[in-house]
Amino acid sequence: MKRIFRWVIGLLVCAALVPYPDPSPAQSRQVLFRESFQNLTDWRPLYFPKIKKYSVYTSETKDGRTYLKAESDGSASALVYKQEYNIYDYPGLVWRWKVEAVYQKGDARFKEGDDYPLRIYVMFKYDPAKASTLERIKYGAAKAIYGEYPPHSSLNYIWSSKVHPEAFLPNPYADQVMMVLLQKGGDRVGQWIDQEVNVLEDYRRIFKADPPALVSLAVMNDSDNTGEKSTSYLEFIEAFRPEKNK
């Protein structure tokens, strides 16, 4: 199913009734961009070989809120943000998300459970000038197939269906994709949750190395392994530079 996708990405690669205040950029940080999903013109779809049923992504407005709605029903596809940026300049990410259900068969440890009602990809760009001979061969072959180099590595910030004790896990398809478990299980289903991460610190902590400088973002709701369905929402996502990184 998603074996080719995992390989490509891996190589390449608060209750709902209580409204949250809309966090504005703090004076202590510099914002690169803030995507509020008024439309999807800054995003492109990503479809995966051998997966014929796609998840559906739409920009919607309800009760004064505009957000990305992501619907999955035994399906998989993603949205990729068109803009690349330097993670050393802007290591911070903050977003607000909500899911209506988790997957009963979802399990981040196994390929057959490798589905998530919502996840944020941070994909680190492959640089052929810094690659070994073996890497250049592998990435060159991938470029010949897909028309572009796959990412060097990736962090996935996920809403895990199960309550795993770990803070992060390797993706079962590729160890260059690491899953960061920010939300676990169904206790907070139906609630808007604010998340804030320092991607640079997370990469160094998990991979024990400095990442490539250029990154791109992607959003996905997938259920092709479990065959289940869920609807999830992303109200905004913002890349910023914290004060201490200036």
pLDDT tens digits for range 60-71: 999 889 999 999
Domain that holds residue 37: 3-15+29-245
Token readout for 131 is: 């690659």
Give domain status of residue 206, yes or no. yes
CATH number, domain of 240, equals 2.60.120.260
Q: Is the pLDDT of residue 14 over 50?
A: no
Residue 244 has pLDDT above 80, yes or no: no
DSSP 41: T
- pLDDT (tens digit per residue) in 156-196: 999 999 999 999 999 998 888 999 999 999 999 999 999 99
Angle at 117 between CA 92 and CA 215, to 5 degrees: 30
Task: Say if 23 falls within a structural domain.
Answer: no
The owner of tokens 């800054």 is: 42
| Vertex 228 angle, CA 224 and 234, to 5° | 85
Total domain count, the chain: 1
Mean pLDDT of the chain: 87
Q: For residue 103, tell me if it sits in a domain.
A: yes
Establish if 93 belongs to a structural domain. Answer: yes
